[in-house]
Amino acid sequence: MVAMRLLLNPLYRRARLALRGQAVSLKPWSGVVFRSVPLEFAKPEQIVDGEGAMKSGARWNPPGSIRALYCSLRPGTAAEESMRLFEVAGLNRTVVKPRLIVGIRSVTGSTR
């Protein structure tokens, strides 16, 4: 097992403050969520396997920690968020490889 030093996400404190005092209501949800994925990882089984977040890390998980899917409720949000992450990394939008916006249907109680 590899030892991993975890650091707080820079937005953690702001998110925590925003959620403080909010009533937590967990309940089953059904609907469609959207992801922005690079074409080389656009096979159906890859879109939902969480392997990219496991290998490379993402907003809320460091590399090697957990499989995670980062989705949005609107396709435009998924596209803009992925572009913003490239800009934060210092890449111009014009050099970003083509991506696919994918809708994923979640059905409460589904066995698929």
pLDDT digits over 20-75, tens only? 877 777 788 889 999 999 898 899 999 999 998 899 888 778 889 999 888 999 99
Residue 112: pLDDT above 50?
no
Tell me how far CA of residue 38 lies from CA of 15, 23, 59, 84, in angstroms: 28, 36, 17, 15
Paired residues of 105 in beta bridges: 32
Predicted TM-score (pTM) of the model is 0.67
CB of 65 closer than 8 Å to CB of 54 = yes
CA 92 to chain centre: 21
Q: Say if residue 85's pLDDT is above 80.
A: no
